[in-house]
Amino acid sequence: MRAMVLAAGLGTRLRPVTRSVPKPMVPVLNRPVMEHIVNLLARHDFTEVIANIHWYPEAIREHFGDGSGFGIDLTYSFEEELLGTAGGVRFASHFFEDDFLVISGDAMTDIDLTAMRDFHRSHGGIATLATRRVTDTSEFGVVITDDGGRIQGFQEKPDPDEALSDLANCGIYMFNREIFDFFPAPGESKLAAPGHPEDFADWAYDVFPGLLDSGVDFFAHETDAYWNDIGTIDELIQSNFDGLFGEVDLGLPDRQVQPEVWVEGEVEGLETAEIDGPVLIGDGARIGEGAQLVGPLVLGKGCSIGAGAGVREAVLLGRSSLEKGAFLAGGLLGPTRD
């Protein structure tokens, strides 16, 4: 089964982090979110992959290249204009042979894609949507199913008292190629607006309602895997902490200088710092004498922590710096702009 990574989004709610990089390149545990997704695809034998790109496309191309360094064969579909969640997939439809996977390149998950693929191929429906139970439905689009898992409808961010389901749509889909028969005609998307290209299409507003109206069987695959949309700064910080605590399987460096203190590459000043994990320190970091590092904490590549400075429960992006004697508790710190 081939796969498509949706990587065209900008991530406006993550500004200022996304002022110079697209959302898929925002780091979690010092690696881009999309790299974690690509590694997940490779682990589950999805080795033929296409990614749609739009915002800062060269940042993605330069990092991933042809995918060979990550165990996949990666090609790209550049959208001159954003075509919507479904329109971008239709634009790349030449890539797909029969059934295929669509997964977000800017959300964090360790879902068992092998189990989802097996389920998709077992039920005979045209589509499978990954779902996860949530406590606050007002933050998600939810999927309504019958006892057999067939999808009967949707609600968009319903109040918990009015929700007909607590199954959140994770935005991870498997389709048979016939799905393209249920796309809106050019210019007929329900989200069509001035400036939208004619081929614009959306899963939630166009394609899935079309399946319901046609009485076509499609199914929900419930998972209890980790899933975080990383739509906000708080969610970005939390995904880093969850990775440190092992709530999501992202892989940590083999090198531990003490329990729960992981180090990448060469780091200066470890011997004089006071460190209480879990802490991840990126390659090229410099830590001043007597600095205190208290986890959960992620220091990005090339970070600088001044002598006597203290930092705890935070995420520092690459090349961030904390001055001598300064103290930071909580939040996210980025580098000073040139």
pLDDT band at 338 (very low <50, low <70, confident <90, very high): very low
Long-range contacts: 286-290, Cβ < 8 Å, 24+? 288/324
Nearest-5° Cα angle at 16, 88 to 51? 20
Three-state secondary structure call for residue 242:
helix
Domain count, the chain: 2
Indicate if 272 and 226 belong to the same structural domain: no
Question: Which residue in the block uniquely carries the two structure tokens 């090339």?
Answer: 302
Percentage of the chain modeled with pLDDT above 90: 87
- 208/20: higher pLDDT: 208
Q: How high is the pLDDT of residue 188?
A: 84
pLDDT of residue 21: 85
Q: What mean pLDDT is predicted for residues 14-38?
A: 90
Q: pLDDT tens across 300-328, in order?
A: 999 999 999 999 999 999 999 999 999 99
pLDDT at residue number 196? 76
Give the per-residue pLDDT at 179: 98
- Name the H helices within the chain: 33-43, 57-64, 84-91, 113-123, 208-214, 233-245
Both tokens of 244, joined, read: 């440190």
- Does residue 34 share a domain with residue 181? yes
Per-residue model confidence as pLDDT tens digits over 157-173: 999 999 999 999 999 99
Q: Does the structure show a pLDDT above 80 at 194?
A: no
Which DSSP state fits 134? -
CA–CA separation, 157 and 241 (whole Å): 26
Residue 337 has pLDDT above 60, yes or no: no
Q: Are residues 280 and 222 part of one domain?
A: no
Does the pLDDT at position 19 exceed 90? Answer: no
**CA–CA dist 282, 267 (Å, integer):** 8
Mean pLDDT for 186-194 is 80
In the predicted structure, residue 12 carries a pLDDT above the cut 80: no
User: Strand 127-133 relative to strand 261-263: parallel, antiparallel, unpaired?
Assistant: unpaired
Percent of the chain surpassing pLDDT 70: 99
Give me the amino acid identity at 210: G
| 137 and 57 assigned to the same domain | yes
Residue 295 in contact with residue 277, Cβ under 8 Å? yes
Residues 48 and 128 in one domain: yes
Give the model's pLDDT for residue 15.
83
pLDDT given at position 155? 95
pLDDT at position 336 is: 65
210 φ, ψ (degrees, to nearest 5): -65, -40
pLDDT the model gives residue 335: 83
**CATH number of the structural domain spanning residue 278:** 2.160.10
* Model confidence, pTM: 0.94
> What average pLDDT does the structure give for the chain?
94
Structural domain containing residue 152: 2-234
- Which pLDDT value is given to residue 6? 97
Residue 244 lies in a domain: no
Answer yes or no: is pLDDT of 228 > 60: yes
Region 179-202 average pLDDT: 87
Nearest 5°: the CA angle 71, 79, 21 is 65
Asked if residue 16 has a cis previous peptide bond (ω within 30° of 0), the answer is yes
What's the confidence (pLDDT) of residue 230?
A: 87
Residues 132 and 219 in one domain: yes
Residues 8 and 137 grouped into a single domain: yes
**Residue carrying the six token digits 């600095």:** 291
Task: Identify whether residues 41 and 93 lie together within a single domain.
Answer: yes
Q: What is the pLDDT of residues 243-289, one digit of tens each?
A: 999 999 898 999 999 999 999 999 999 999 999 999 999 999 999 99
Same domain, 219 and 309: no
Residue 197 neighbours by CB under 8 Å, 6+ apart: 81, 83, 87
CATH number at residue 181: 3.90.550.10
Are 113 and 173 within 8 A, CB to CB? no
Q: Cα dihedral angle (248, 254, 259, 264), rounded to 10 degrees?
A: -90
**Buried (b) or exposed (e) across 214-247, using 16+ Cβ within 10 A?**
eebebbbbebebbbbbbbebebbbbbbbbbbeee
Whole-angstrom distance, CA of residue 296 vs CA of residue 277: 6
DSSP assignment of 68-82, as one string?
Answer: GGGTSEEEEEE-SS-
Note whether 229 and 299 are same-domain residues.
no
Question: pLDDT by residue (tens digit) across 90-149?
Answer: 999 999 999 999 999 999 999 999 999 999 999 999 999 999 999 999 989 999 999 999
CA 202 – CA 84 distance, rounded (Å):
5
Angle formed by the axes of helices 57-64 and 33-43, nearest 10°: 40
* CA separation, residue 111 to residues 20, 60, 249 (Å): 29, 23, 10
Structural domain contains residue 247: no
Instruction: Considering only residues 188 and 4, tell me which one the structure prediction assigns the higher pLDDT.
Output: 4
Q: How far is CA 146 from CA 143, 150, 203, 207, 224, in A?
A: 10, 6, 20, 20, 19
